[in-house]
Structure 1
């Protein structure tokens, strides 16, 4: 089969190579072989190719941590499913393996590209907002990188939860995307100070919940505009800057700093992941959430797709289509 492989770590466009004679994976006990119909690109894909992610598969490996595929053998043959492929054989290939217990039915209303993009980003946002932060109707939710993959999911899920959503983005093009997603207020951080904008919009109270996949200045600024008893959920560090939290500041202002590593739930509480998938499927069926797919590229352009996400040049989700 054809599959993209990384034999040396580096930038995606340089390190990824499309190989035409990779052996098709063989499912072991409890695994499913799927034909990849679509693979959504995630920022961790770029980090993995660079050797900067917490998961470091042995070389050579095929990147791609999220897919929609069709089961090709066994009792579930023909079923359309979504999930995380079993590394080192990732999703940027013609075939991949999924653990059967974590292969969820793809929501019918979503096409392959949308279904592939529903899993990691929306699960992350759902757990951040509901499991970790306990977001309540009427609260103010501040979402950083709101036009990106996981940020766009947080905007939609925040709206679905009845929150007032303030979206922070970098540039007018991304601001337009955030407005289309339904954010109540969009702040272009390249033009104005987002902390001042949040304080003004909330009458000085600040945001009850902050969704932060960026780190760096986004986190530091959030500590200055988080509400009394507010919750900052740290989801990632797309800026490359891991800030040192001033715990004395959290004490004085009475706010919480919460970490979220969604992948841990797959091993520690898989039933919670299934329950979240079922709720997300219902929301997708009702048209309340729908992944924003900004680009659909063929398998031959997977390296370009990962590089685009790595460089921060994408909005919504970039998806590599199966052939």
Structure 2
């Protein structure tokens, strides 16, 4: 089968498009013929080094994806060949204490597509049936694929960790990136006021057009001071961020007393000043979050059907042009997701 895979670590010179063995389906698994996937920052990390993530070489890239069921067990009752499906990329053991209590995302031996095992940038993917979900009928394959990482991550951050209420104000850093844009969409559909930040004026304008209440340009304005001005000196209830060190101080200073900050990344560094005095005096709450559980994904898919949510696709490339797609992601030029088309619907 045709696939995008890395043969080592470095730059795009280690990313190849070529033939890899088609996966063999085991008992309890589903073979999916892939139609579309989207890129995530971890694809760059796996290309560059993959340090700390156990994987072999060559290794097929890609975390999320959507496609069509090719094969299932004869006694499978929820999925059938020809069905349009979207994938949850985190494969837990189903046996550890965390899986047993329904928190598979905390599984002690979780394996992610595109990281620990071959990923979605391939004509076929094989994974447990519990990780395969019917695709929302309102979405195309690229939009559905986008739900599997960014929107699921934002869903857990907003609704499971922060437990946002409709009357609250949310501050989202780095609008234009996948998780941040997903958080904007979800928060607005939930009825929240949303303040967004970016260093790109064009991205801020697009965010305002999508329903952001206010936009702050981080290169021209002091974010925390502007937040306080916009909220009458109160601060926001919730901060959603995946930038890390470069914005951490502004994030903490932007929170109301008792406010919550949820972080899922550290692209600018992971060792910010903790500012412990502010945290305990103002009784701030800090949550770490990654991806989301299978039941959260099911809830997200139902929410998508109910509200008409449509993930934003910034651009689309065929598999043969994956180098150009990775370059766009690395340069952070996108507004939304970068899709890779794999096969025909």
Q: Give your verdict on TM over 0.5.
A: yes
Residue 30 of structure 1: how far off its partner (Å): 1.9
Looking at structure 2, the residues matched to 103 and 119 of structure 1 have their Cα atoms a distance apart, in angstroms, of 10
> Which residue does 1:16 correspond to in 2?
15
Q: Note if 1:318 corresponds to 2:322.
A: no
Q: How many residues align?
A: 312
Looking at structure 2, the residues matched to 120 and 173 of structure 1 have their Cα atoms a distance apart, in angstroms, of 25
Q: Note if 1:57 corresponds to 2:86.
A: no
Q: Note if 1:213 corresponds to 2:242.
A: yes
Looking at structure 1, the residues matched to 67 and 308 of structure 2 have their Cα atoms a distance apart, in angstroms, of 24
Looking at structure 1, the residues matched to 69 and 323 of structure 2 have their Cα atoms a distance apart, in angstroms, of 25
Consecutive unaligned residues in structure 1, runs of 5 or more: 267-272
> Which residue does 1:203 correspond to in 2?
232
Distance 1:102 1:141, change over 3 A: same
Looking at structure 1, the residues matched to 232 and 155 of structure 2 have their Cα atoms a distance apart, in angstroms, of 27
Structure 1 vs Structure 2 CA RMSD:
1.8
Mean Cα deviation higher: 242-251 or 62-71:
242-251
Q: TM-score, normalised by structure 2?
A: 0.85
Residue 54 of structure 1: how far off its partner (Å): 5.0
Looking at structure 1, the residues matched to 206 and 271 of structure 2 have their Cα atoms a distance apart, in angstroms, of 27
> Which residue does 2:44 correspond to in 1?
46
Looking at structure 1, the residues matched to 161 and 58 of structure 2 have their Cα atoms a distance apart, in angstroms, of 36
Moved over 4 A (4+): none
Residue 315 of structure 1: how far off its partner (Å): 1.3
> Which residue does 2:326 correspond to in 1?
306
Which of 58, 83, 90 lines up with 1:79 in the alignment? Answer: 83
Residue 43 of structure 1: how far off its partner (Å): 1.0
Q: Note if 1:178 corresponds to 2:207.
A: yes
Three-state SS of the structure 2 residue aligned to 1:229 is: strand
Looking at structure 1, the residues matched to 86 and 185 of structure 2 have their Cα atoms a distance apart, in angstroms, of 20
Three-state SS of the structure 1 residue aligned to 2:195 is: strand
- Whether contact under 8 Å (1:152, 1:181) holds in the other structure is no
Which of 136, 139, 161 lines up with 2:168 in the alignment? Answer: 139
> Which residue does 1:226 correspond to in 2?
255
Q: Please list, as runs of the form range in 1=range in 2, the aligned pairs for 1:126-275 lying within 5 A after superposition.
A: 126-262=155-291, 265-266=292-293, 273-274=294-295
Mean Cα deviation higher: 92-101 or 150-159:
92-101
